[in-house]
A and B are shown apart, each in its own frame.
Chain A
């Protein structure tokens, strides 16, 4: 089985979110970067489990600059065989998807796995775009994946429930919570990751179709109004007359 896992770097979940340069750039000061949890915990780990059980290889792919290399090495330490980095700034989802689709189209991957979203842009866009560019099925928000020969059985979150689907490879999926458990890399993995191949390749041409003009922080809460636990009539009155939500 030949699997490709899309890996992106994101600020640690506890990072303070601030912006600089007139609110046009994320303030990286003091920020720790990690592998996007959906890419790592669910997509990468499930891919490794499948290959460990059935044979094959797991390659990671990242659109990013040299500043992504430490998080790519982390993915290699967890167990991926090799990594590809397309050397460009991942500014626009179409640009990113195009780079991955162009790389993957001649490589005959059975499954391309992404996380369901990154925790910085929360776009949930790349997997679906790659699938359309490669004209394959896309299983979004997958929580379970099993593969027998060229047929995969998945569970996915859909409106009002969980859907069980059967898909013939090749296809693309986005992985959500439930697909696998987080793995902590061991010392042997960390040592091995240093010498595993990380191939840096040049991007293909693709006009960005979107750009971020600026960021803003949501209005801060004006403070919590405390109500005595005996006085729930007052809370109902406030929710009705002041907050106007009931």
Chain B
């Protein structure tokens, strides 16, 4: 069974790319399709997760949905693939539905597990903003699967990947990128395994130092609640929740966030939730694994010190 896995690789292989390649290798023989000027050495690391062939389109440099759809389509045709696998990230949300329409292939949007094939082809996906899981069956010969980041642990599956330059005709399109306003090179929130988040309880943007200190010692990414982003204390891309980014890290630490249902919708996929709040009645404690009823201004620095001590003892 032939599988085309689409990944974006810049300076290093992202976790989302590892997940997609590993997922694909569990379905069949993986041909990765990608684009840009990333070095051969970095691309070949995809072999560690099960890539057997890598097709790289050097002439394409930007993430244009139509061009990428045609690129993936050409790779499917070349390999006669039955499956297309990609990450359900910002690029994937543009490209996944397009390629599925192009191939007339059923589409799983946001797979959280490998398929169950004992009776048809059924994949689990989150619905109702994480409040439920749907088992979705695909009925078409070709299938497109977009994987929700952080849904499965990619495992090593050593293959000696063969790299080939690939330049099918991608066409021309009436869309051009004028500017990219970068948010820096940190781990993007949806891929972060550890997240430290804070809300209005922090009382002002000048107090975020204690949040960043804890994130630093943990190697975590910072996030915030909606009100904090709305009043401009923190940038919008840090806002997690129903209308912001939905995340599913291994550890989510929330300080000074009450836990409104809309916030929970964005974080309830987290494996472990730690809640720090002065109000013992805060609804977030019902969704928490560990709770600390206390003042974030005292608890966060204390937790930072405890993590430092722990890290030192591990070395």
Query: On chain B, which size bracket covers the interface?
Result: 35 or more
- The answer to whether B194 and A213 touch across the interface, beta carbons within 8 angstroms, is no
- The answer to whether B310 and A229 touch across the interface, beta carbons within 8 angstroms, is no
In the complex, residue of chain B having the shortest beta-carbon distance to the beta carbon of A128 = B97
- The answer to whether A224 and B285 touch across the interface, beta carbons within 8 angstroms, is yes
B222 within 8 A of A: no
In residues 174-189 of chain B, which contact A (Cβ within 8 Å)? 174-185, 188
Which residues of B are found within 8 Å of A121, using beta-carbon distances?
Answer: 127, 134
- The answer to whether A210 and B178 touch across the interface, beta carbons within 8 angstroms, is no
A166 within 8 A of B: yes
A2 within 8 A of B: no
Give Cα A138 to B173, complex, Å.
Answer: 11
Which residues of B are found within 8 Å of A120, using beta-carbon distances?
Answer: 127-128
Add 8 more A-B contacts to A153-B178, A168-B174 (CB < 8 A). Answer: A128-B101, A137-B66, A140-B65, A177-B243, A209-B104, A211-B136, A229-B293, A232-B302
Beyond A129-B100, A165-B176, whether A236 also contacts B107 by CB under 8 A is no
Top 8 A-B pairs, shortest CB-CB distance: A229-B294, A128-B97, A209-B106, A132-B101, A168-B174, A232-B306, A140-B94, A137-B175
A125 within 8 A of B: yes
Give Cα A127 to B65, complex, Å.
Answer: 12
Which residues of A are found within 8 Å of B174, using beta-carbon distances?
Answer: 136-137, 167-168, 171
Secondary structure call for the B interface: mixed
Which residues of B are found within 8 Å of A215, using beta-carbon distances?
Answer: 127, 132-135
Cβ contacts A to B, 11 pairs, < 8 Å = A17-B131, A122-B128, A123-B109, A129-B98, A162-B237, A209-B138, A210-B106, A224-B285, A229-B294, A235-B306, A236-B307
A160 within 8 A of B: yes
Instruction: Find the residue from A126, A165, A209, A228 having the highest chain B CB count within 10 A.
Output: A209
In the complex, residue of chain B having the shortest beta-carbon distance to the beta carbon of A243 = B272
- The answer to whether B178 and A218 touch across the interface, beta carbons within 8 angstroms, is no
Chain B nearest Cβ from A235, distance in angstroms: 6
In the complex, residue of chain A having the shortest beta-carbon distance to the beta carbon of B142 = A209
- The answer to whether B181 and A162 touch across the interface, beta carbons within 8 angstroms, is yes
- The answer to whether B180 and A240 touch across the interface, beta carbons within 8 angstroms, is no
Question: Which stretch (B51-59, B85-93, B155-163) binds chain A?
Answer: B85-93
The contact of B105 among A141, A209, A229, by CB within 8 Å, is A209
Residue tally, chain A, CB below 8 Å to B:
78
In the complex, residue of chain A having the shortest beta-carbon distance to the beta carbon of B63 = A158
B218 within 8 A of A: yes
Which residues of B are found within 8 Å of A145, using beta-carbon distances?
Answer: none
Give Cα A235 to B273, complex, Å.
Answer: 12
A66 within 8 A of B: no
Beyond A211-B137, A224-B286, whether A138 also contacts B299 by CB under 8 A is no
- The answer to whether A128 and B65 touch across the interface, beta carbons within 8 angstroms, is yes
A20 within 8 A of B: no
B38 within 8 A of A: no
Beyond A93-B97, A119-B128, A161-B181, whether A218 also contacts B251 by CB under 8 A is no
Contact string, A124-161, partner B, CB cutoff 8 A, digits 1/0? 11111101110011111100000000000100011111
Which residues of A are found within 8 Å of B274, using beta-carbon distances?
Answer: 235, 239
In residues 103-126 of chain B, which contact A (Cβ within 8 Å)? 104-110, 120, 122, 126
- The answer to whether A209 and B140 touch across the interface, beta carbons within 8 angstroms, is yes
Which residues of B are found within 8 Å of A125, using beta-carbon distances?
Answer: 96-97, 100, 107, 109
- The answer to whether A166 and B93 touch across the interface, beta carbons within 8 angstroms, is no
A178 within 8 A of B: yes
Which residues of B are found within 8 Å of A126, using beta-carbon distances?
Answer: 97
The contact of A164 among B177, B262, B275, B306, by CB within 8 Å, is B177
Give Cα A231 to B143, complex, Å.
Answer: 51
The contact of B90 among A119, A131, A140, A240, by CB within 8 Å, is A140
- The answer to whether A140 and B175 touch across the interface, beta carbons within 8 angstroms, is no
Beyond A138-B94, A246-B218, whether A97 also contacts B291 by CB under 8 A is no
- The answer to whether B139 and A208 touch across the interface, beta carbons within 8 angstroms, is yes
Give Cα A174 to B96, complex, Å.
Answer: 14
Chain A nearest Cβ from B269, distance in angstroms: 8
Which residues of B are found within 8 Å of A153, using beta-carbon distances?
Answer: 178
Beyond A129-B97, A236-B310, whether A221 also contacts B137 by CB under 8 A is no
A230 within 8 A of B: yes
Give Cα A106 to B296, complex, Å.
Answer: 59
Which residues of B are found within 8 Å of A228, using beta-carbon distances?
Answer: 292
Which residues of B are found within 8 Å of A238, using beta-carbon distances?
Answer: 290
In the complex, residue of chain A having the shortest beta-carbon distance to the beta carbon of B184 = A160
- The answer to whether A19 and B179 touch across the interface, beta carbons within 8 angstroms, is no
Give Cα A238 to B105, complex, Å.
Answer: 45
Chain B nearest Cβ from A4, distance in angstroms: 17
- The answer to whether A161 and B101 touch across the interface, beta carbons within 8 angstroms, is no
Give Cα A123 to B110, complex, Å.
Answer: 7
Chain A nearest Cβ from B96, distance in angstroms: 7
Which residues of B are found within 8 Å of A13, using beta-carbon distances?
Answer: 129, 242, 261-262, 265
Which residues of B are found within 8 Å of A212, using beta-carbon distances?
Answer: 134-137
A233 within 8 A of B: yes
In the complex, residue of chain A having the shortest beta-carbon distance to the beta carbon of B121 = A210
